Amino acid sequence: MVETIHVTMEQLKQVAFDTLVSFGFSEEEARHGAEVLYASDVRGVDSHGVARLEFYENMLAKGMINKEAKLTVLSETPAMAYLDAQNGLGIVMAPQAMDVCIEKAKKSGIGMVSVVNGGHFGIAGYYALKAVKEDMIGFCVANSAPVMAAFGGRGTVLGNSPVSIAFPQGADGRDCVMLDMACSSVAYGKIQIADRKNEKLPIGWGVDEEGVDTEDPQDLLSRPGSLLPFGGAKGYCLGVLLEMMAAVLPGANTGVDVGWIKTEGMKENLGYLFIAIDVKQLRPMADIEKDIEYYTTKLKSTQPAKGNNEVFLPGEIEHKNVKKREKEGVDLNINVAKDLLRLAKQYGRLGEEATIEDLFK
């Protein structure tokens, strides 16, 4: 049985904000970061929410993240911008870059932003959803630390290219259809979660250093094993092309040149590609909404396969999590809560005697 502590989503967001401020970020920067972490936790992507604060602190302590970074424009056209995130904290810099992209789309119908010197930016879905809030299609991809093997190969040689595509909501506030995934069979964070829970990995998630299937999280966490691409060669090919769009385009690091927790002191220098499409400038929103409704209603009325109860639209499970968690809160893994408490003590927000309950007061 995994030990947990029950907290509200607002308490979790506050702890994320306070932690980022204690790291030395301004309130505005901390708000960006806390929003990204909140979006992850509330959607049920526990691997990329507040659980990541310890990882970010680790990289800050190693000098891999530039706390003074400011998003700067290297070149731009009315629809495009080439930006430098100066190796700042990804969850602080990337939201600002997506805001630039959306502003371009408002003026030109489509906005495209390519970013160099980026850091780990949390869940890709957060950025695509920012566009959806403006009735735009959002597309977002980043490259990542080298966590994945090439199809048929061994060793961690390429990133898993987290990617998200979100389509604007239909009428009457229905949830948007959205994809948010990485090109590995699972995110690296899910290996860490399995390890925290002392669980074995399902076959197909990862391989050991010889490229042989493994069930042991430690083969990937402390030994040179790798995640596998999803869907065999197709997931691998998609991952390569997405890493090229995210990172080769802006001249960011790729594959084994990306710095991460397993490399001392190397900067990440990731790349991002954001696209926002203002669909209203193409067709009337009411017509598009009608077509969204027609299409998604047909999909939702699919007869479930034998043994299955329901067919979900892309993103639907996460939207359900949002509704549930916003109302009921979340059972936070006790080890994550302990890490957050340790950070609060280390950065002087709480005294040595403080308990986890004090953290969420």
Residues at the interface with ligand NAD (CB under 6 A): 45, 48, 120-125, 142, 144, 160, 162, 179-182, 186-187, 190, 312, 314-315, 317-318
The region, left, alpha or beta by phi > 0 then psi within -120 to 50, assigned to residue 174 is beta
Amino acid at 4: T
Which CB sits closer to ligand NAD, 81 or 128?
Answer: 128
Query: In one letter, which amino acid is 35?
Result: E
> Whole-number minimum distance, CB 159 to ligand NAD, in Å?
7
Of 105 and 176, the one with the shorter C-beta distance to ligand NAD is 176
- Please provide the DSSP assignment of 33-53 as one string: HHHHHHHHHHTT-GGGSGGGH
193 sits in which H/E element:
helix 188-196
- Give the nearer residue to ligand NAD in terms of CB position, either 294 or 312: 312
Smaller CB distance to ligand NAD: residue 100 or 187?
187
Residue 313 Cβ vs ligand NAD, minimum distance, rounded to whole Å: 7
Residue 30 or 123 with smaller CB distance to ligand NAD: 123
Residue 145 CB, nearest distance to ligand NAD (Å)? 7
State which residue, 101 or 344, has the beta carbon closest to ligand NAD.
101
Contacts 24+ apart (CB under 8 A), 235-242: 235/151, 235/183, 235/184, 235/185, 236/150, 236/151, 236/183, 237/151, 238/161, 238/183, 239/148, 239/158, 239/159, 239/160, 239/161, 239/183, 239/184, 240/158, 242/141, 242/143, 242/161, 242/163, 242/183
Q: Smallest gap, in angstroms, from Cβ of residue 199 to ligand NAD? A: 15
Q: What is the maximal distance between C-alpha atoms in the chain?
A: 60
Q: What is the DSSP string of 198-224?
A: TPPPPTTSEE-TTS-B---THHHHTSS
CB of 297 to ligand NAD, least distance (A): 16
Residues 273, 63: Cα–Cα separation, whole Å: 25
**Calpha distance 15→340 (Å, rounded):** 8
Q: Which is nearer to ligand NAD, 148 or 341 (CB)?
A: 148
Write the burial class of residue 60 (CB in 10 Å: 0-12 exposed, 13-18 middle, 19+ buried): middle
Q: In angstroms, what is the minimal distance from the CB of 357 to ligand NAD?
A: 30
Q: How far is the CB of 77 from ligand NAD (least distance, A)?
A: 27
We find the least distance from the C-beta atom of residue 116 to ligand NAD, in angstroms, to be 16
Q: Which is nearer to ligand NAD, 111 or 229 (CB)?
A: 229
